[in-house]
A = this chain, B = another copy of it.
């Protein structure tokens, strides 16, 4: 049995949850209470010494890192496929998968920090820089998506990696950045039509996030 360790407020595991649904893979989802710090407990560190979700178990096999997990699921359950057979398209799919983490995770965390530590002083300069980095990243996506429905050929692992981020921008005072970019907005709308994306939306909770100055 496939088991996925995740938490509803964590962005990254949602990519894997989307893929599990797109491929209709029978699986069990195990919620790790990251708000209580359960991911740092010794039992969880036996699965992932770096104390991060998602983690996927497939029998005795334990895989950490969402990109490695998605590649594994694609190879283990090849149909329907979300990674092209064309070598150039595969390379670009992987590039976008990695970009969605390497250049989004940091700014996102800084932007979202006040929601998780409402008593801490707000790092306004840091959040302004994060906002600028997010904006620049969206410009890259807008250029790529102009005259394209998906990041690479068909709907792929690349789109799924960005989906957990871009589909919640309107909840975190960033929605205007998407509506101002037509190709991006159309892509987000296409993502939101996927049942797998709809089924995995995090619960709607009131967030108190400062807007940008």
Please tell me which one of the listed residues B64, B91, B98, B136 contacts residue A95 in the complex, with CB atoms under 8 A apart.
Answer: B64
Residues A95 and B75 in contact, CB atoms below 8 Å apart: no
The quantity of this chain's copies bound in the complex is: 2
A-B contact pairs, 7 of them (CB 8 A): A50-B103, A63-B92, A63-B95, A67-B67, A67-B94, A68-B98, A72-B94
Q: Which residues of B contact A71 (CB under 8 A)?
A: 90-91, 94
- Is the CB of A123 closer than 8 A to any CB of chain B? no
Of B61, B65, B90, which is within 8 A of A102 by CB?
Answer: B65
Does A9 lie at the interface of the complex (its beta carbon under 8 Å from any beta carbon of B)?
no
Count of chain A residues near B, Cβ 8 A: 28
Complex Cα gap A101–B50 (Å): 13
**Dominant secondary structure at the A interface:** helix
Cβ contact of A72, chosen from B75, B76, B87, cutoff 8 A: B87
Tell me if A140 and B61 are in contact (CB < 8 A). no
Q: How far is the CA of A50 from the CA of B65 in the complex (A)?
A: 22
**How far, in whole Å, are A177 and B102 apart by their CA atoms in the complex?**
27
- Please, how many angstroms separate the alpha-carbon atoms of A71 and B97 in the complex? 13
Residues of B within 8 A of A88 (CB): 61
Instruction: Say yes or no: A49 contacts B102, CB within 8 Å.
Output: no
- Top 9 A-B pairs, shortest CB-CB distance: A68-B94, A72-B91, A65-B98, A68-B95, A49-B140, A63-B91, A61-B88, A65-B95, A75-B87
Complex: chain B residue closest to A49, CB-CB: B140
CB of B65 within 8 A of CB of A99, answer yes
Which B residues are in CB contact (< 8 Å) with A136? 49
Residue numbers in B under 8 Å from A69 (CB-CB) = 91
Mark out the residues of chain A between 79 and 121 whose CB falls within 8 Å of any chain B CB in the assembled complex: 87-88, 90-92, 94-95, 97-99, 101-103
A103 to B102, CA, bound (A): 12
